[in-house]
Amino acid sequence: MQFLWFRVAVPLCFAVLSIIVAINGQAMPSPLPTAVGICSLAGMALIWRDMSAKMKGGNRTIGSLFSQYLAVKAVGWLGRRQRRKLEADTLKVKQVQEETLLMRLRKNANTCYGKQYDFSSVKDSDGFRACHPITTYEHYQDLIKRIAAGEEKVIIAEKLLILAMTSGTSGQSSMLLSTKDTNTEFFLQGVAVCLEVMRQAFPETDSLQRTTKFFYTPIFRQSESGIPIGPNSSTPASSRHMLNLYTTPAPAFEVPSEKDTLYLHLLFALKDPSVGTLESNFASTVFYAFSALQDRWQELVEDIEQGKVSGALSLEPRVRTRLEALMKPDPERAAQLRAHFQEGFGGIARRLWPHLHLVLAVDSGSNQIYGEMLRENYCKGVPFYSPFYAATEGLIGVNLWPQELNRRYLLCPRSMFCEFLPESSLEDETPQTLLMEEVKEGDSYELVITNASGLFRYRIGDIVKVVGFHNQCPIVEFQYRRGQMLSVRGEKVSEALFLDALKKAVAQWPGAQLVDYCCAESGILGDSIGGSDPHYQVFIELKGVRNLSEEQRYKLDICLQQDSAVYKSFRIKGSIGPMRVQLVAEGAFKELRKQMMAFSNTSPNTFKMHRVLRRKEYADFLLGKTVS
């Protein structure tokens, strides 16, 4: 069939060229222009054939399809090029790491900071480690205040884009520097590579379908010198040239309310039965979207049926007018949707969007629980790809094995200069670091990074386990954040260890489905909970059960004892008291999330739920939401 199409298309190109010649009143055109014209038309014919063969979204103009096609092809070419460069770099990791470090130091040698540590005289990584201490955020606070006040060339030579706020999962949010270099690096070494990996692993995503991307316009404030302060993540503004690839129309991103923007994301996604991918930075955002869909599906279906936008949304008149111009009554689609929702929410994603190929979101670390809940419920049967290991500090690793359930990330040797603190030496006063080529498979380390935006030998607080090597380059699994450890007697229970125990306990509670959880060490609650033995206060939101017996609650303590010999020994000695498990009301964690974002100025695009609460106000809030 394709060959027949081509046999028709090429003569058609010649015919079109003849018509052009006739219209221009020319006799025989010279050979070169003729050849160029023929080649151009043949090229267009080939492009049109390729476009015609791909799955497309409905109600698309030729212009929007063509621009998407060109964007996909351009990023595809770039992704293949960057993947080849990454492969080459993994064969010479020591050399690439040295080059990356020296490039950072040379670039910033004439800053105040570079002169203080004599960057211009550093010849290699050994010299750098000898002259520069290992740092934490406190080391940079005063310097960043000077930058916020407008002083230039304090730490970095490059012009600043924004002052980037971290998510604050391990304590107070930090304010870091973000530059054009950081963003370019992230796109080339991260986004481009991962899109190529995705295309190879899930070839059906190489289509002209639209993506539903759950992201929001963050609120930026300004420093005294006018530098924007906010999250360092993909935003509608930074993606403005790509918005035609998404189901959500541009006016929706002018809506300041996250709740109202989410409604619009869902409304325009539901209108389009040909959605190919659901995307967000984190699986938690996708999970919250489906939770909202479950709560508001009737209102959404009514809007689609009547061709309107709900009057409950707080929209500026001009924004509402532009959005409602895109709505037309669609009773047929509304009837389909109503039938799907009435069938239940298990596997709803595939029923709503039969050609849905992928959920693209990070589902490791604190997002693991949300990825699991999505796969087990709303997105049953849909593949997931967790593409990056990244932070406000920049790109750390990429996932080259998207179909494996255990999320493993290849460290990107040109993104950051990486050092590794062995887990056994984290509390040492002057710990010695290892380099990429010195780490051992099976061991865990805290990452120490030197990045493109002014952090040098910086402890980011992430503990990773080296699970293998790709050529010479380490492959890691995220383990835990240092600030998110439970430790009332020095037992150090990590987030991953606690979550495994919790999942085992929930499996023994008939009918229970875990929605969310967090913990607090009894010390931060003081006298409000009574009792003298230090212990863990555990807050859990469940579906399917309203109460738990004391015996059922104690199962969680038993499961953790089975998984942690150290915790068990403290429990047997009586040094740690039994856990206290509190069931909280439905929606308690949604409200807690709002409070946390408001306190830390975190955007929904970058928020991560705190698994260990370090602020008494948060624990008191959940105590107030306890129902059992």
Q: Cα 108 to the chain's mean position, in Å?
A: 29
Same domain for 143 and 210? no
What is the residue range of 151's domain? 91-181+388-483
Query: How many structural domains are present in the chain?
Result: 3
- The answer on 526 and 463 residing in a single domain is no
Phi-psi region of 610 (alpha: psi -120 to 50; beta: other; left: phi over 0): beta
How many Å apart are CA 397 and CA 410, to the nearest integer? 5
Give CA–CA dist 201/360, Å, rounded: 13
CA dist 557 and 505 (Å) reads 9
Alpha-carbon distance of 422 to 418, in angstroms, equals 13
Question: Cα–Cα distance between 67 and 52 in angstroms, integer?
Answer: 14
As given in the structure block, the two tokens for residue 412 are 């990107």
Helices 495-506 and 368-376, packing angle to 10 deg: 30
pLDDT for position 619: 94
Q: Assess whether 338 and 454 both reside in one domain.
A: no
Strand partners, 537: 520, 580
Whole-angstrom distance, CA of residue 76 vs CA of residue 69: 10
The pLDDT of residue 62 is: 81
First to last CA, the chain: 66
Residue 7 lies in a domain: no
State how far the Cα of 237 lies from the Cα of 219, in Å rounded to an integer: 12
Are 427 and 285 members of one domain? no
* 518: its two tokens: 């967090």
Domain boundary among 328, 351, 382: 382
What is the number of alpha carbons within 13 Å of residue 102 lying toward its C-beta?
13
For residues 536 and 159, what is the distance between their CA atoms, to the nearest angstrom? Answer: 46
H helices, E strands: number in the chain: 20, 20
Q: What is the C-alpha separation between 129 and 107, in angstroms, rounded? A: 18
Residue 28 maps to a domain: no
Could you tell me the strand order of the sheet in which 175-179 lies? 175-179, 160-165, 228-231, 221-222
The CA–CA distances, whole Å, from 148 to 140, 221, 231 equal 12, 12, 15
* Residue recorded with tokens 């579906």: 543
- Whole-angstrom Cα distance, residue 534 to residue 358? 45
Element (H, E) at 396: strand 394-398
C-alpha distances (whole Å) from 243 to each of 71, 235, 322, 523 are 12, 10, 16, 48
Kindly state whether residue 594 falls inside one of the protein's structural domains.
yes
- Residue ending a domain, choose from 483, 506, 537: 483
Q: Helix H segments across 564-587?
A: 565-573
Same domain, 169 and 111: yes
Residues 408 and 511 in one domain: no
The answer to whether 498 touches 611, Cβ cutoff 8 Å, is yes
Question: In this structure, are 438 and 531 located in the same domain?
Answer: no
Tell me which residue of 583, 516, 591 sits closest to 546, measured CA to CA. Answer: 583
Q: What gap in Å lies between CA 523 and CA 69, rounded to an integer?
A: 57
* Residue 542 within a domain: yes
Domain assignment of residue 401, yes or no: yes
| Stretch (H or E) spanning 282 | strand 277-282
Mapped onto helix, strand or coil, the DSSP state of residue 241 is helix
Q: Please report the sign of the dihedral spanned by the C-alpha atoms of residue 279, residue 282, residue 287, residue 290.
A: negative
Residue 58 lies in a domain: no
Q: What backbone phi and psi angles, to 5 degrees, belong to 18?
A: -60, -40
- pLDDT means per 10 residues in the chain (628 residues)? 36 39 46 64 66 67 81 90 98 98 97 97 97 96 96 95 80 85 91 96 92 90 92 75 87 93 97 96 95 96 97 96 96 97 97 97 93 95 96 95 95 97 91 97 97 96 97 96 90 92 96 94 77 88 93 96 96 94 95 87 84 93 94
Element (H, E) at 98: helix 93-107
**Per the domain annotation, does 417 fall within a domain?**
yes
Say what the pLDDT of residue 30 is: 60
Same domain, 265 and 279: yes
- Dig out the tokens for 28 from the structure: 């025989």
In a domain, 15, yes or no: no
The helix (run of H) or strand (run of E) holding residue 352 is helix 348-352
Of 589, 503, 190, 518, which Cα lies nearest the Cα of 360?
Answer: 190
Name residue 552's amino acid: Q
378 and 345 Cβ atoms separated by less than 8 Å: yes
**348 with 340: CB under 8 angstroms?**
yes
Angle at 104 between CA 101 and CA 109, to 5 degrees: 120
Half-sphere exposure of 565 (CA within 13 A, CB side): 0
The pLDDT, as a whole number, for residue 29 is 52
Q: Domain boundary residue among 382, 410, 441?
A: 382
- In this structure, the answer to whether residues 209 and 357 fall within a common structural domain is yes
Alpha carbons within 13 angstroms on the beta-carbon side of residue 568 total 9
Q: Are 211 and 322 contained in the same domain?
A: yes
With beta carbons less than 8 A apart as the criterion, state whether 486 and 612 touch.
yes
Q: Which residues pair with 626 in a beta bridge?
A: 584
Q: Which amino acid is at 467?
A: V
What sign for the dihedral angle of Cα 85, 86, 88, 93? positive
The pLDDT of residue 66 is 81
Total Cβ atoms within 10 A of residue 531: 12
Query: Does 217 share its domain with 347?
Result: yes
The CATH code of the domain that includes 145 is 3.40.50.12780
Q: What is the dihedral of CA 73, 76, 81, 85, to 10 degrees?
A: 160
> Do 530 and 580 lie in a common domain?
yes
